[in-house]
Chain A
Amino acid sequence: MPARTPAGPIALWRSQSGHAAASADRCPHRGMRLSHGFVRGEALSCIYHGWSYARPGNCLRIPAHPGLTPPETIRVATHEVEESGGVIWVAVGEPTIQPPRLEGLAPLRSLTAHAGIAVLEAVVGAKAGPEGLVWQAQNSQEIRLLLVPQEDDHTLIHVLLDEKSSASQRVAASRAIESLRRTAEYLQAKGIAS
Chain B
Amino acid sequence: MIDEWYPVGLFGQIENGWKTALMGEPIEVAFDPGREVKVTSEDGRTLPVCVRYGHVWSSLGKPRKDLFAIPEADQPGRRFVEVGVVRVRCSPLRAVENFLDIAHFPFVHTDILGAEPHTEVHDYKVEIRQDEVWATQVKFYQPQAAKSAAGGITTEYMYRVPAPTCSVLYKTCPPRPGEWDVIALFVQPLAEDLCDVWPWMALFDDVTPMTDLIHFQQTIFLQDRSILENQIPRLLPLDPGMEIPTRADLTSVAYRRWLKRHNYKYGAQLVAQ
Contacts and interface: CB of A to CB of B under 8 A. Distances in A.
A133 B229 CA distance: 36
Interface stretch (A45-53, A94-102, A118-126): A45-53
Interface string A17-29: 0000000011011
Given A31-B232, A33-B232, A64 B119 contact: yes
A48 B243 contact: no
Given A33-B232, A66-B119, A66-B120, A48 B227 contact: yes
A49 B232 contact: no
A36 interface: yes
B104 interface: yes
Interface string A72-91: 00100000000000000000
Nearest to A61: B119
B246 A62 contact: yes
Nearest to B234: A31
A48 B248 contact: no
Given A63-B116, A66-B120, A33 B230 contact: yes
Contacts of B108: 47-48
Nearest to B231: A31
Nearest to B224: A48
Contacts of B232: 25-26, 31-33
B231 A65 contact: no
Contacts of B247: 64-65
- Interface residues of B toward A: which range? 20 to 34
A86 B246 CA distance: 40
B47 interface: no
B107 A47 contact: yes
B233 interface: yes
A79 to B, nearest CB: 17
Given A32-B230, A48-B227, A65 B107 contact: no
Nearest to B235: A31
B244 interface: yes
A74 B116 CA distance: 23
Contacts of A68: 246
B103 interface: yes
B106 interface: yes
B243 A63 contact: no
A31 B248 contact: no
A157 B244 CA distance: 36
A150 to B, nearest CB: 17
A68 B117 CA distance: 15
A28 B245 CA distance: 9
Given A30-B231, A36-B230, A50 B243 contact: no
A65 B246 contact: yes
A49 B102 CA distance: 9
A65 B103 CA distance: 10
Nearest to A28: B244
Interface of A: 25-26, 28-33, 36, 47-50, 62-66, 68, 74
29 contacts: A26-B232, A28-B243, A28-B244, A29-B243, A29-B244, A30-B231, A30-B243, A31-B231, A31-B237, A31-B242, A32-B230, A33-B232, A47-B108, A48-B104, A48-B107, A49-B103, A49-B107, A50-B107, A50-B119, A62-B246, A63-B120, A64-B103, A64-B120, A64-B246, A65-B121, A65-B248, A66-B117, A66-B120, A74-B244
Given A49-B107, A64-B248, A65-B121, 18 more contacts: A25-B232, A26-B232, A29-B245, A30-B243, A31-B231, A31-B242, A32-B232, A33-B230, A36-B230, A47-B227, A49-B104, A50-B119, A62-B246, A65-B120, A65-B247, A66-B119, A66-B120, A74-B244
